Chains A and B, each alone.
Chain A
Amino acid sequence: MDTKSFIQKRFSEFYREKASDIEAPRLIEQREFGFLLFKGNVMVRHKSFGTVEALRSFVKQIVPAHAYYSTAYYEAPEEKMENKGWLGADLYFDIDADHIPTECGKIHDRWKCKTCGFTGKGVTPETCPMCGGKTFENKTWPCEVCLESAKSEMVKLVDILVEEFGFSPDEVEVSFSGHRGYHVHVENEVVKELDSVARKEIVDYITGVGLEAALHGVGTRSHVTSSGSSGRGFDNIGWRGRISRGAYKVLSAATEEDLKNLGLKEKAVEKILSNKELILKTWERSGPWQPIGGLSKDALQAIINRAVQNESAKIDTVVTTDIHRLIRLPNSLHGKTGWLKVVFPTSEIERFDPLKNAVAFKKGEAKVYVDEAPRFRLGEELFGPFKHEKVELPMAAAVFLLCKGAAELVE
């Protein structure tokens, strides 16, 4: 049996037993469904289901590598795009390690230039250093550091959605994507009819794009009034509060190198470091928004900019503004990992362990030949690192390596 058929067989067994875990999206009859098949990488789109039972038995029958449904609601989801009749769409956010600078430096990722075949490790460059080509094949790896970074971006996002946008924690649904990131889904009548331009404004709010601190009364004397400007400003709301908390954090943790990285001149760095205690004290006494002694306007602006960068949530901007997007179906398998897309309540974010909670295959073993794989964890168990070796692994680990293209099946 070849590797692909083996994976498909495991997926098939899984769905025979667990397709019943797939739940109906709200207004299932108005959603478009799409499935990527193992065979020939074919996308079956424009499907619709009247009931969740019909959806489940379809999944059992075709055994897709990936299963999706639309954030959009349509009058006629089976029609061609131009005849579907768009009725609205949920608000959806995708946080993927691909879009976040992580501490691991993505050293586990590989890229290959499609033009000249040159390969490299780490973050994919914009242009190939050999030939200047701009398209690449990527092999990514969902490492724990990446997943943690994605999670902390999600925490920031959920906080903004609840505190600023006023959604209740119950209507903000969070999930693990089954690969390298998290999704946040808001189903709410109020946002349903927002067009792409309005959604772009929401994206800019969350990512801090176009933010001008002065418009929040930050960094200019003219805006300062006696009220609300005393204390550390931490209880200020909206971006005003986020900037003050973030800037204080940046300043109090700043080392010489950090400040230089912010683009501050040597003199300014020295002045800040030698006056740090005093600056923080002035801040605590008279508020963050007074020009602070020892901190020039430019330096304050640089620190604010860094604060905005730190406090904003790094979401994939394209996903949220696309009002026809197909998104992964909860409790379905991700064809690149064999892991599940898992929905969980916001109160569980801290405790959620994707490498445990998203594991689907819990029985059996399989023998595989691993080309190369870094050390990884699944559940409580550690595996690897592997290089050019034959190993017998628990099914979840074996399927994961096979799905990732890091291993071949051994008969």
Chain B
Amino acid sequence: MVLTRFDLAKYPFVLDAAEEVRRLDLDIGNLENPALKAILDRAENRIEEALRNSPPEVSYRPREEDVEIPSFPVAVILAAASGNDYIKRRYALAEAIRAYKLLQDEDEKKVLEIAKVFNWNIQNVKKIIGHRRYDFALSFTDFLRNAKLFHEMEWKLVNRMLVKGKVYLRQREAARLLQEEIRRRIEERLRSDVRSMLPEPVLRRIDDLKRKYASRIAKAQFQDFPRQVVNEAFPPCIRMLYDAAKSGQHVSHLGRFTLTSFLINIGMKPEKVVDLFRSSSDFNVRIARYQVEHIAGQRGSRTRYKPPRCETLKTHGLCPGPDDLCKTIRRPLSYYGKKTRTLKKEVSAN
């Protein structure tokens, strides 16, 4: 089955964006060309919809293929040129959610076509196993790549029907997993720096958009952690590990990882974290520095590690028992975020 222009308007990300721009003779440097105004307007509008709608979602406009298809790669260029992480993330998510909604009611064969674009190992099945009807069977590795960060218990592999390497899914679930794949693909495309290639009037459009939604963007960034480390806002698990490390008590490997990644993520300097472990009986400054810097993403894979989820900490006996705030979160870092915000409010109320 081939995807028609009608389909491409729904799922424009399956096309190679650069290729599409070239094919339409869309010159990035010449976006102010009046003939292309409709496309440019819709591109800007796609981003605006992402910023305005909550949850973020770009609208679907049927029977406007001539604008819908090319406006997507142009919007990607505009969002990339914004140079703002919040706009980029929000836009990628909005396009992905749009696709998710469309895929839920899509012809199953078309869903398979889209999945193929991402090299999924997936088949159409019509099966009732036990209590449920399933539409697709997806290889467990493709499943894990996309579902591993979902919180809900129903997305844990252990709670899925897994048979001979295949996870059974309903169409809505397959669409949800594709949403993740699509979001990542768009985010990747947004990484390139295209600002210098764009003409002044186009750049002005982007800056206007940024100005118009400045308060939203600022609010999103405000949700970051305070600059100073706030010890009083540590969750019980981190408090326990922190005290143990400070007093030189034995802390398990995973415990050290949890504590280190937590402190790095709330903005503690790696040297300070290394110092924390100095009273440990097996302290070795070279090894400790290496490990801390590795977790901070300054070495090795270059990814900054996040502390494990509460569920994982429970599995490994590192959760000393949740307090009331713990019951509202799933990760130690969210606890810290919430707590610092309430502490801040208390301070300003005093």
Contact = CB atoms under 8 A, between A and B. Distances in A.
Contacts of B160: 238
Interface in B256-304: 290, 294, 299-301
A217 interface: yes
A192 to B, nearest CB: 9
Interface in A195-212: 197-198, 200-202, 204-205, 208-212
B143 to A, nearest CB: 9
B254 interface: yes
Interface stretch (A23-31, A220-228, A251-259, A275-283): A220-228
Given A215-B159, A227-B128, A318 B300 contact: no
Contacts of A86: 300-301
Interface stretch (A93-101, A158-166, A364-372, A377-385): A158-166
A392 B38 CA distance: 95
Contact of B130 (A164, A191, A205, A229): A229
Contacts of B61: none
A190 interface: yes
Contact of A198 (B144, B294, B301, B312): B144
Interface residues of B, number: 39
Given A198-B148, A223-B131, A238-B163, A215 B153 contact: yes
Given A165-B162, A165-B165, A215-B159, A228 B131 contact: yes
B315 A216 contact: no
B158 interface: yes
A210 B311 contact: yes
Interface string B150-187: 00011011111111111000000000000000000000
B243 to A, nearest CB: 14
B315 A217 contact: no
B186 to A, nearest CB: 21
A166 B164 contact: yes
A228 B299 contact: no
A3 interface: no
Given A82-B300, A227-B128, A229-B130, A216 B159 contact: yes
A266 B301 CA distance: 56
B145 interface: yes
A69 to B, nearest CB: 19
B158 A167 contact: no
Given A82-B299, A205-B158, A217 B249 contact: no
B279 to A, nearest CB: 15
- Classify the interface of chain B: helix, strand, loop or mixed: mixed
B190 to A, nearest CB: 22
A81 B300 CA distance: 7
A104 B304 CA distance: 44
A239 interface: yes
A94 to B, nearest CB: 15
A205 B157 contact: yes
Interface in A159-202: 163-167, 190-191, 194, 197-198, 200-202
A139 interface: no
Contacts of B301: 86
A164 B163 contact: yes
A204 B157 contact: yes
A177 to B, nearest CB: 20
Contact of A164 (B156, B162, B253, B290): B162
A135 B252 CA distance: 10
A215 B149 CA distance: 19
A235 B249 CA distance: 50
B224 to A, nearest CB: 23
Contact of A166 (B129, B145, B166, B294): B166
26 contacts: A81-B299, A82-B299, A134-B249, A135-B250, A165-B162, A166-B140, A197-B149, A198-B144, A198-B148, A200-B312, A201-B144, A201-B147, A201-B148, A204-B156, A209-B158, A210-B158, A211-B156, A211-B159, A215-B154, A225-B131, A228-B128, A236-B130, A239-B158, A240-B129, A289-B131, A317-B315
Given A216-B161, A237-B129, A239-B159, 17 more contacts: A82-B300, A163-B163, A167-B165, A198-B145, A201-B144, A204-B315, A209-B158, A209-B315, A210-B158, A215-B154, A216-B130, A225-B128, A225-B130, A237-B163, A238-B162, A239-B158, A318-B253
9 nearest interchain CB pairs? A166-B165, A217-B131, A82-B299, A166-B164, A198-B144, A215-B159, A223-B131, A228-B130, A201-B157
